[in-house]
């Protein structure tokens, strides 16, 4: 089955979601608001997506017969989690369209494949070298220099699987421990800021984006995002141009985020791709005419894309499980700031570093919106 053989999926139809976290939850909310039914498939039950979906199916991604049965009961399949085995994607594709396609996921699941794809197609990336042995590492350090960042090639997110190599002793420690998996060594970028562009592409090739978000991370996890980003117009325009180019080159149907480093001399470097709605785009749920989740739905169903107009400057702050360390956060206190909206994901157990929800606020400026969500978050713990 190909993209070209895909009819429009109208409200009343059933959408299948592989994965069951918070992204799927917000997608399901958008889909149900437009009259669609949602089935979700993942290895766990009572999940953030499952709590709002019409049907929650518990199964292993490598159980291909279970995946086929899941796909047979829906009109189209999409993702909220890209690290699904390619065999599972192929199994679902036998029965219904899968958006975005398996080729997009195959590239985005592996940092080395991702960086190689970007570099070969002329997109700006950090310097990188593949590392599969200690000899490779020593040669890569000679090429890249120090400091550098050593990353697992596959299945990494939120800073997981990353080690910063600052001095020769750090390299020696890795050599002594040995290397038994595929890695990638990337040059360390002393960036001025981190940016992201979330964009969507429809079946007909039409693209839409929400402009540029500016992101602040803490311990490798996104902490606060603001829109619009406080960068010169020419940098914002270039970031959007690159992001749209990535979607078109990959032939994405759906939503994809391009994360950037912006260097101190104003140069943009692509850091990572996420072929799905993105944490930095959560503010679109409240701040834009069409959220990233509704847009994902429109794209995968073959509907025209919606307006991405930003109604007012906005900010988003993540809520991690650490906030529960001394008991239930004080939600009433956060809601005491009337411009702030609380989004909780329905996760059963808070854990340190685990994304449990987020806050958004709209204000007269991105800076003012950021102050509101940071103040509201502080109120949660007194």
For residue range 243-286, what is the model confidence (pLDDT) as tens digits? 999 999 999 999 999 999 999 999 999 999 999 999 999 999 99
Residue 162, domain CATH: 3.30.1490.20
Query: Same domain for 164 and 205?
Result: no
Query: Same domain for 229 and 304?
Result: yes
Mean pLDDT, rounded, for 312-333: 97
Handedness of CA 205, 210, 215, 217 (dihedral sign): negative
Query: Same domain for 183 and 260?
Result: no
Asked if residue 105 belongs to a domain, the reply is no
Rounded to two decimals, the pTM is: 0.94
Query: Same domain for 207 and 244?
Result: yes
Cα–Cα distance between 213 and 228 in angstroms, integer?
A: 6
Pick from 67, 150, 154: which is nearest to 107 by CA?
154
Query: Same domain for 336 and 314?
Result: yes
Residue 281, domain CATH: 3.30.470.20
**Per-residue tokens: 222:** 């996104």
Query: Same domain for 250 and 343?
Result: yes
Which pLDDT belongs to residue 1?
Answer: 38
**Per-residue tokens: 164:** 């910063």
Total number of domains in the chain: 3
* Per-residue model confidence as pLDDT tens digits over 51-107: 999 999 999 999 999 999 999 999 999 999 888 998 999 999 999 999 999 999 999
Residue 129 pLDDT > 90 = yes
Supply the range of the domain harboring residue 328: 191-380
**CB of 212 within 8 A of CB of 236?**
yes
- Mean pLDDT score across all residues of the chain: 95
Asked if residue 244 belongs to a domain, the reply is yes
Asked if residue 114 belongs to a domain, the reply is no
Handedness of CA 51, 53, 59, 61 (dihedral sign): negative
* Per-residue model confidence as pLDDT tens digits over 11-55: 999 999 999 999 999 999 999 999 999 999 999 999 999 999 999
Q: Are strands 55-58 and 37-42 parallel, antiparallel or unpaired?
A: parallel
**Per-residue tokens: 104:** 């997009």
Query: Same domain for 263 and 376?
Result: yes
Backbone torsions φ then ψ of 196, nearest 5 degrees: -145, 150
Q: How confident is the model at residue 159 (pLDDT cuts 50, 70, 90)?
A: low
Cα–Cα distance between 283 and 129 in angstroms, integer?
A: 35
Q: How confident is the model at residue 292 (pLDDT cuts 50, 70, 90)?
A: very high
Asked if residue 156 belongs to a domain, the reply is yes
Query: Same domain for 341 and 234?
Result: yes
Which pLDDT belongs to residue 156?
Answer: 59
Which pLDDT belongs to residue 176?
Answer: 87
Asked if residue 117 belongs to a domain, the reply is no
Query: Same domain for 215 and 323?
Result: yes
Query: Same domain for 237 and 298?
Result: yes
Which pLDDT belongs to residue 155?
Answer: 64
Asked if residue 110 belongs to a domain, the reply is no
Asked if residue 60 belongs to a domain, the reply is yes
Query: Same domain for 271 and 372?
Result: yes
Q: Are strands 254-263 and 191-201 parallel, antiparallel or unpaired?
A: antiparallel
Residue labelled with tokens 């002594």: 176
Please tell me the total number of residues recorded for the chain in this structure: 382
**CB of 98 within 8 A of CB of 92?**
yes
Q: How confident is the model at residue 4 (pLDDT cuts 50, 70, 90)?
A: very low
Domain end position, chosen among 53, 81, 98: 98
Asked if residue 92 belongs to a domain, the reply is yes
Residue 10, domain CATH: 3.40.50.20
Query: Same domain for 368 and 225?
Result: yes
Domain end position, chosen among 98, 113, 146: 98
Pick from 263, 258, 262: which is nearest to 281 by CA?
258
């Amino acid at each position: 089955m190909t993209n070209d053989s895909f009819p429009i999926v109208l409200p009343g139809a059933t959408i299948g979601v592989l994965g069951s976290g918070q992204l799927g939850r917000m997608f399901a909310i958008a889909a149900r608001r437009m009259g669609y039914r949602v089935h979700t498939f993942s290895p766990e039950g009572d999940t953030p997506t499952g709590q709002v979906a019409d049907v929650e199916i518990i199964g292993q991604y490598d159980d291909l017969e279970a995946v086929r049965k899941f796909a047979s009961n829906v009109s189209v399949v999409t993702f909220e989690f890209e690290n699904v085995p390619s065999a599972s994607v192929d199994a679902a594709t036998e029965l219904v369209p899968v958006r975005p396609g398996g080729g997009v996921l195959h590239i985005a699941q592996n940092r080395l494949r991702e960086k190689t794809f970007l570099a070969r197609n002329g997109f700006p990336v950090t310097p990188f070298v593949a590392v599969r042995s200690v000899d490779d590492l020593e040669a890569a350090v000679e090429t890249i220099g120090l400091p550098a960042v050593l990353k697992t090639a596959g299945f990494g997110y939120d800073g997981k699987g990353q080690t910063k190599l600052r001095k020769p002793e750090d390299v020696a420690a890795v050599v002594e421990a040995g290397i038994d998996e595929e890695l990638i060594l990337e040059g360390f970028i002393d960036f001025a800021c981190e940016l992201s562009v979330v964009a969507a592409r429809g079946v007909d090739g039409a693209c839409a984006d929400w402009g540029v978000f500016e992101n602040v991370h803490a311990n490798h996890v996104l902490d606060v995002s603001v829109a619009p980003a406080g960068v010169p117009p020419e940098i914002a325009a270039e970031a959007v141009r690159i992001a749209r180019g990535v979607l078109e080159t990959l032939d994405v149907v759906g939503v994809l985020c391009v994360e950037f480093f912006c260097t101190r001399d104003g140069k943009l470097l692509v850091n990572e791709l996420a072929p799905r709605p993105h944490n930095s785009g959560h503010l679109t749920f409240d701040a834009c005419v069409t959220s990233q989740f509704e847009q994902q739905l429109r794209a995968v169903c073959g509907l025209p894309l919606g307006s991405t107009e930003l109604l007012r400057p906005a900010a988003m702050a993540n809520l991690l499980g650490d906030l529960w360390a001394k008991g239930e956060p004080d939600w009433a206190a956060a809601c005491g700031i009337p411009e702030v909206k609380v989004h909780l994901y329905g996760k059963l157990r808070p854990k340190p570093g685990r994304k449990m929800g987020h806050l958004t606020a709209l204000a007269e400026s991105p800076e003012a919106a950021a102050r509101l969500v940071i103040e509201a978050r502080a109120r949660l713990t007194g």
